[in-house]
Structure 1
Amino acid sequence: MGTVHDLLVARGKQGALEAGIERPVVEAASQYLSDEDSALAFAYSGWAQCALPHKRLADDAPWSITSEKVRLMVEPGRRPIGEGQEYEFIGVPFGSHARLILLFLQTEALRTSSREIELGGSLRQWLGRIGVSVGGMTGKSVRDQAERISRCRLTFHLATSGSRQVGLVNQTIVDRAIFIEEGDGRQGRLNLETAKLSEGFFEQLQRHPVPIEEAAIKALNNNAPGLDIYLWLAYRLHSLSSDRLVTWKALKMQFGTGFKEMFHFKPRFTSSLALAMAVYPDAKLEVTEQGVVLKPSRSPVQPKVHALPSR
């Protein structure tokens, strides 16, 4: 158990804050340790190596990101305008809500062993369980991200030996979606009621799932960088047989495409890394001048029962 978790168990939140631990890290770790729900979620391992953008891009802009072994390209989808033959780009998915919707889709698909997923109330109930109230601007954001996910196309290029590559070429995440439109035309609201994962995406998810904890997702539900790093650690750490250095250059390629300079990226990454470790107590790593040294660790999916002091 890491320092923040030891401090929380021994001295409570105030004691951890007095010891110099940043408040967001203390809050995330406290919420995680206090959550007795042992429910699991799942994600395709490709998302643990390459993720969606954190912020909105231009509606017609594609998204590309490269990690050590995976390259991801996401192309924005289009939707019809009015009754004519015109279409408009709606942009690639982005931010924490897009990640949460994807986690729900993947978790439900594996839980039911089916590509067909009933949404509507089920998605709202799950989001509520992880602390996201779907109403007002949040509800509008969730509907927007659900439509972006349903219409976008993606390619995962998976590196193999030599120069050969295999990938999910021109693969949609969702094969079929049913929207209920409220209002008229461009001003209407689209509610996604049912979705069917594409066969290729579902097959990859079944072959390469990464189990994670709902309690961790709940503690990071509004922090896209923290969610990305947590999923990455959940995928990498438990499979290591020895220490592995990931250089700052490699980390910036995977997690810092929005930063021009390394000196801007490093402090933001280390802050997000601390948040991810706050909900992964068994994570072992070391931040060095060369990068981050990953160390063999237990999977994050472990039973936990901790009684935190009330002070």
Structure 2
Amino acid sequence: MGTVHRLLDQHGKEAALGADVDRRVVEAAAAYMGDEDGGIGFIYSGWAQAALPHRRLPDDQPWQIISDRVRLLVEPGRKPVDSRDAPDALQWVGVPYGSRARLILLFLQSEALKTNSREVELGRSLRAWLARLGIPIGGKSIKEVREQAERISRCRLTFHVQAGGRGGLVNQNIVDEAFLLSAEESDQGNLFVDTVKLSESFFEQLKKHPVPLEEAAIRALSNNSMALDLYCWLAYRLHVLPGSRPITWKALQAQFGTSYKELFHFKPRFIENLALARAVYPAADVTVDERGVTLRPSTPPVAKLGG
């Protein structure tokens, strides 16, 4: 348990807010500690090692992350242009990005595992789940969710996983089939029609390599894409470490901060978001110094499932 959790536990939120602790960290920790929902979500382990961009890229630009064990390539998809003058024309859709894309992917993966089916209902189910996370569904928010869902459904994904000295292409798309409502229909109460079908290869890897996460933690970080990435990373890494593992700033920037040109711009953002991730993962044993971070074996946020 970290300092902020002890303050909250022993003295309450007001006292913690008066201490020398970032207000956002106190708010996240208080929200997490006061959340009694107990829900669990899942992601494929590859996402805990290489994630989507935080901000929008040019629509025709691919996204690539190269970490010590995973290479992720996300290529943007295209869709027909709604034009009588150019009926065969296509336009780039762009790769998914930001916190909304991460939440939609988390929903798809969690539902697929819980139902043991590649077909995942969207519409009311996604709407209800986002509402549980405190995401308003209406106006600008519904537009963002629709856009990220379309980007996810059209992009091409390649994970190259290095394991045991051998590399291999794990999966090459996320979604096989998806049907989106028109803009007019989306105002009638549903976000999407029918289902999304995850690709068979992605679903198989998800079943083999799931990372369980606490929905309470996701809820507290739902608007912060880097904090979500760091929470997923810690949930994946810490409980399997045989001992202390130092990681350099250079390696951290390659995995989490490729959009930052300079390390001195990346470091403070990383430290801020690591503190938020630790606020919702009290057991995480992580220290920061001038060389990078040191990870130490820690209890996972979700106890081992299924015996």
TM-score bracket for this pair, using the shorter chain length? over 0.9
Which whole-Å CA distance do the structure 1 matches of 2:282 and 2:170 have between them? 34
Which residue of the partner structure matches residue 28 of structure 1?
28
Equivalences for 1:178-257 in 2 at 5 Å?
A: 178-183=179-184, 191=192, 193-257=194-258
The amino acid across from 1:296 in the alignment is P
Equivalences for 1:1-311 in 2 at 5 Å?
A: 1-82=1-82, 84-162=87-165, 164-168=166-170, 171-183=172-184, 191=192, 193-301=194-302
Q: 1:154 to 1:53 in 2, by over 3 A?
A: same
The amino acid across from 2:116 in the alignment is S
What SS class does the counterpart of residue 60 from structure 2 fall into? coil
| Off by >2 Å, runs of 4+ in structure 1 | 189-193
Do the aligned partners of 1:181 and 1:190 also contact (CA within 8 Å) in 2? no
Which whole-Å CA distance do the structure 2 matches of 1:289 and 1:55 have between them? 27
What SS class does the counterpart of residue 9 from structure 1 fall into? helix
Do the aligned partners of 2:8 and 2:30 also contact (CA within 8 Å) in 1? yes
Which whole-Å CA distance do the structure 1 matches of 2:106 and 2:90 have between them? 29
Deviations 1:133-165 (A, max 9, x none): 111101000000000000000100111344x42
TM-score, normalised via structure 1 length: 0.92
Deviations 1:61-105 (A, max 9, x none): 000011110010000011111271111001000000000000000
* Structure 1 stretches lacking a partner, 5+ long: 304-311
* Structure 2 stretches lacking a partner, 5+ long: none
Which whole-Å CA distance do the structure 1 matches of 2:156 and 2:72 have between them? 11
Percentage identity across aligned positions?
A: 60
Which whole-Å CA distance do the structure 2 matches of 1:182 and 1:8 have between them? 45
What SS class does the counterpart of residue 170 from structure 2 fall into? strand
What SS class does the counterpart of residue 177 from structure 2 fall into? strand
Do the aligned partners of 1:143 and 1:192 also contact (CA within 8 Å) in 2? no
Which whole-Å CA distance do the structure 2 matches of 1:49 and 1:292 have between them? 16
Bigger mean CA deviation after superposition, 241-250 or 228-237:
241-250
The amino acid across from 2:301 in the alignment is P
Which residue of the partner structure matches residue 307 of structure 1?
none
Deviations 1:159-208 (A, max 9, x none): 1344x420135x11000111222359xxxx98454100000000000000
Shift of 1:7: 0.3
Q: 1:144 to 1:249 in 2, by over 3 A?
A: same
Which whole-Å CA distance do the structure 2 matches of 1:225 and 1:165 have between them? 27
Do the aligned partners of 1:78 and 1:151 also contact (CA within 8 Å) in 2? yes
The amino acid across from 2:197 in the alignment is K
Shift of 1:49: 0.2
Which whole-Å CA distance do the structure 2 matches of 1:230 and 1:205 have between them? 18
Do the aligned partners of 2:100 and 2:145 also contact (CA within 8 Å) in 1? yes
Which whole-Å CA distance do the structure 2 matches of 1:135 and 1:182 have between them? 12
Do the aligned partners of 2:78 and 2:92 also contact (CA within 8 Å) in 1? yes
Do the aligned partners of 2:156 and 2:173 also contact (CA within 8 Å) in 1? yes
Which whole-Å CA distance do the structure 2 matches of 1:173 and 1:234 have between them? 22
The amino acid across from 1:200 in the alignment is S
Deviations 1:26-83 (A, max 9, x none): 0000000000011100000000000000000000000001111001000001111127
Which residue of the partner structure matches residue 308 of structure 1?
none
Which residue of the partner structure matches residue 309 of structure 1?
none
Do the aligned partners of 1:213 and 1:301 also contact (CA within 8 Å) in 2? yes
Which whole-Å CA distance do the structure 2 matches of 1:259 and 1:50 have between them? 16
Which whole-Å CA distance do the structure 1 matches of 2:169 and 2:247 have between them? 24
TM-score, normalised via structure 2 length: 0.94
